[in-house]
Amino acid sequence: MYNHIKSVIGILAAVTSITSATAQTPSTDTIRVGYQKSSTLTAILKTNGELEKALTPLGVRISWHEFTSGLPLLEAINTGNIDFGADVADTVPLFAQAAGAKLAYIAEEAASPSAQAILVGAESPIRTVADLKGRKVAVTKGAGSHFLLLAALAKAGLNFKDVSPAYLTPADGRAAFIGGNVDAWVAWDPFLTSAQRQSNARILSDGSNGLASYKRYYLSSAAFADRRGDVLNVIFGKLDGTGKWVKAHPKDAATLLAGLWGIDAATVEEANSHRSYRVGVVTSSGLSEQQRIADAFFAEGLLPVKVSAGDAKIWTPKRN
């Protein structure tokens, strides 16, 4: 999805100037929720109907809208075509901010540093990140895994120019890695766990020890956050409860998600063990890594302008 980041940013920038009259006007009692197939907690809520039940006392219905990746989802929020967006990786809101989108952080999933990693083959002579110098590395451009690679290289005394990047989607990256066409692949779950189980690949480095936290964020437009705090309070509570259920019932959760994702339950269960699924409140101090990512991406020319992560609106739920 990030192979055309600059063009997507251009589209996002253009739509920020469109007046509200051009956006679809939602029914006052219908909330439009955008999600990806990989949006674990939201996918579960869509399947079990618990969110609809929780919103019924408010007289609110849900219309569900699936997206193939995070940037189009945030574009839809920015144009007023989606009210609430399920979890996207940490880098995605920064591209939207760079385009001038008026977003609000609604919730975060706490750090899951082992849910993304740099993989090498089981028999590869590469033993340290420093050994990647001059090697071909598959990575999804602009994804959280891209930041992990930048951070790992910097810690090893290298920069991005020291490797030969192959910018590939997760599916294409996996094929290139399994086929031996790249020396390493930077992946996130469930792709990460699936590839490990298939090929006995070794983890060269994950995001542990402060390299890359890998948080995921739930967002809405700033205007929606101001207007429908009652709805967001309900959504926040159901996400929180669902995250706790996933961790408390790993086999049941894996069985449910395996059917949705088309991945065997054992792989899903192992992949889920790497994710925190701990839903919490976003804070200004908690966005410190967002600023690290923004600065690193700007330095690499991935972001066209400097971004201040703290400029985005932060919504806070009301506690009962």
Domains and CATH numbers, the chain: 5-111+215-314 (3.40.190.10), 113-206 (3.40.190.10)
Six-digit token string for 305: 């302008």
Q: What whole-number distance in Å separates Cα of residue 6 and Cα of residue 165? A: 18
Which of 227, 282, 215 is CA-nearest to residue 80? 227
DSSP state of 177: H
Provide the pLDDT for residue 319: 73
Q: Beta 30-36 vs 84-89: how paired, if at all? A: parallel
Provide the pLDDT for residue 320: 56
Provide the pLDDT for residue 46: 96
- Give 48-55's long-range contacts (Cβ < 8 A, gap of 24+): 50/238, 50/242, 51/234, 51/235, 51/238, 54/234, 54/237, 54/238, 55/31, 55/231, 55/234
Tokens 């936290």 sit on residue: 213
Q: Is the bond preceding 93 in cis, omega lying within 30 degrees of 0?
A: no
Q: What whole-number distance in Å separates Cα of residue 158 and Cα of residue 240? A: 39
Provide the pLDDT for residue 38: 85
Provide the pLDDT for residue 265: 97
Percent of the chain surpassing pLDDT 90: 83
In angstroms, what CA-CA distances link 70 with 60, 76, 127, 219, 250?
Answer: 25, 10, 33, 11, 26
| Residue segments in the chain with a per-residue pLDDT below the cut of 70 | 1-28, 320
Q: What whole-number distance in Å separates Cα of residue 63 and Cα of residue 283? A: 29
In angstroms, what CA-CA distances link 123 with 131, 173, 176, 184?
Answer: 14, 19, 16, 12
Contact between 116 and 186 (Cβ < 8 Å): yes
Provide the pLDDT for residue 196: 93
Report pLDDT digits (tens) over 267-299. Answer: 999 999 999 999 999 999 999 999 999 999 999
Q: Tabulate helix, strand, coil % of the chain (nearest 5).
A: 50, 20, 35
DSSP state of 35: E
